Structure 1
Amino acid sequence: MTNIGTQDDVSRAVLDALAQRSASATVCPSEVAKSLASTGSTPEGWRNLMPIVHSAVDELLGREAIKLSWKGKPMPARSGPYRISRATSDRD
């Protein structure tokens, strides 16, 4: 995907990244930003997309569509480093 479009597009990218992995796998938000970065951008261009990725994560978390964790511990809100997982998984 080379055109980010709307926050809904970014939210879909988060959910798509999770769908491509096993049910219990997690995704780093930077992976989502890198997947959204334009192929013509500089190697570090994905960093500019992190604010909209964080915003989409906050929205998905508010809808309980995802969960956040860090080093295996659940996080109720985004703060510092985090990993994204499906709201439900085989571990639940």
Structure 2
Amino acid sequence: MTDDMKKETAPKDPTPLDPVAIMILDQLAALPDDKSAAPDDIARAYAEARRKPSDGRDLYKRYRRAVKEQAIHLARVGRIEILRRGEPVDPDDFKGVWRMRLKK
């Protein structure tokens, strides 16, 4: 097997991102540099992208936990920052009202 063949068959990303993580990164990338997003905003955007005609208006609440879990994962790997009172916090030790932004 040649090196060219190995390159073609090797996966481009060995750990693909969860769809919620992709939504988080897309939503944060669309914000101006000095802005952050609330987790409920991301959950609402994700819910709207997946909405069916029979879904209720509070569909976004179903995705709150997934948004938090994926935000923690993205913060651990250094792609985003989790903020409390405008300051970055440890993704393994925070509670209360929080926001997120792309890592500077």
The question of 1:33 aligning with 2:43 is answered yes
Q: Which residue of 1 aligns with 2:58?
A: 44
Moved over 3 A (4+): none
CA distance in structure 2 between the aligned counterparts of 1:72 and 1:86, rounded to whole angstroms:
13
TM-score scaled by structure 1?
0.80
Instruction: Tell which structure's C-alpha radius of gyration is larger.
Output: 2
Counterpart contact for 1:68–1:76, Cα < 8 Å = yes
Structure 1 vs Structure 2: percent identity of aligned residues?
A: 19
Across the aligned residues of Structure 1 and Structure 2, the Cα RMSD in angstroms comes to 1.7
Do the aligned partners of 1:24 and 1:86 also contact (CA within 8 Å) in 2? no
* Aligned residue pairs, count: 83
How far off its partner does 1:7 sit? 6.1
- 1:65 corresponds, among 72, 79, 91, to 79
Kindly provide the amino acid, as one letter, of the partner of residue 56 in structure 2. T
Match in the other structure for 1:3? none
CA–CA separation in structure 2 for the residues paired with 1:39 and 1:13: 18
Residue segments in structure 1 that go unaligned for 5+ positions in a row: 1-5
Q: Are residue 10 (structure 1) and residue 20 (structure 2) matched?
A: yes
Find the residue that maps to 1:55 and give its secondary structure. helix
**SS at the partner of 1:23?**
coil
